[in-house]
Amino acid sequence: MSQWELSEFDVPPADDKDRFHDFALPLPMMHAIADLGYEYCTPIQSEALPYALSDYDVTGQAQTGTGKTAAFLIAIFTRFWENPLPEDLPPGTPRALVLAPTRELALQIEGDARGLTRHMDERTVCVVGGMDLMKQKDKLNKKPVDLLVGTPGRLIDFINRNDVSLKHVEVLVIDEADRMLDMGFIPDVRRIVYQTPHKKRRQTLFFSATFNDDVMRLAESWTIDPKHIVIEPESVATDTVDQKFWMIGDNEKEDAMVRLCQAPAMKRAIIFANRRDQTHRLTKHLQKNDIPCEALAGDIPQKKRLATLNRFKDGTLKILVATDVAGRGIHVDDVSHVVNYDLPEDPEDYVHRIGRTGRAGASGTSISFVAENDAFNLPPIEEYIGTTVTCTVPDFDLGASESGSVSGTLSETLSENKET
Burial readout 371-388 (b: 16 or more C-beta within 10 A, e: otherwise): beebeebbebbeebbeee
Between CA 368 and CA 244 the distance in angstroms is: 6
Count other C-beta atoms under 10 Å from residue 18's C-beta. Answer: 18
Which residues neighbour 155 within 8 Å (Cβ) at sequence distance 6 or greater?
99, 127, 148, 164, 192
pLDDT in tens, the chain (420 residues): 468 999 989 888 888 889 999 999 999 999 999 998 888 998 999 999 999 999 999 999 987 677 899 999 999 999 999 999 999 999 999 999 999 998 888 998 999 999 999 999 999 999 999 888 999 999 999 999 999 999 999 999 999 999 999 999 999 999 999 989 888 999 999 999 999 999 999 999 999 988 889 999 999 999 999 999 998 754 445 567 889 999 988 888 999 999 999 888 888 999 999 988 899 999 999 999 999 999 988 778 767 887 888 888 888 999 999 987 666 656 777 888 999 999 988 887 888 788 888 765 567 889 999 988 888 888 888 887 878 888 888 877 654 333 333 333 333 434 444 443
Find, among 170, 71, 158, 156, the residue nearest to 116 by Cα: 71
Q: Determine the length of the chain.
A: 420
Which residues neighbour 87 within 8 Å (Cβ) at sequence distance 6 or greater?
none
The torsion region of residue 92 among left (phi > 0), alpha (psi -120 to 50) and beta comes to left
**Which residues lie across from 125 on neighbouring strands?**
148
What pLDDT does 304 receive? 83
Between CA 140 and CA 309 the distance in angstroms is: 25
CA dihedral 400, 406, 407, 410 (to 10 degrees): 160
**Domains detected in the chain:** 6-231 (3.40.50.300), 235-419 (3.40.50.300)
What pLDDT does 375 receive? 81
Between CA 261 and CA 267 the distance in angstroms is: 9
Vertex 13: Cα angle to 9 and 19 (nearest 5): 65
What pLDDT does 359 receive? 67
Positive or negative torsion for Cα 312, 358, 330, 274:
negative
Q: Is the distance from CB of 283 to CB of 295 less than 8 angstroms? A: yes
Task: Provide φ and ψ at 364, rounded to 5°.
Answer: -150, 175
Q: Is the distance from CB of 406 to CB of 393 less than 8 angstroms? A: yes
CA distances from 131 to 77, 104, 113, 304, 420 (A): 26, 12, 20, 11, 48
Find, among 14, 71, 63, 13, the residue nearest to 42 by Cα: 71
Between CA 355 and CA 24 the distance in angstroms is: 30
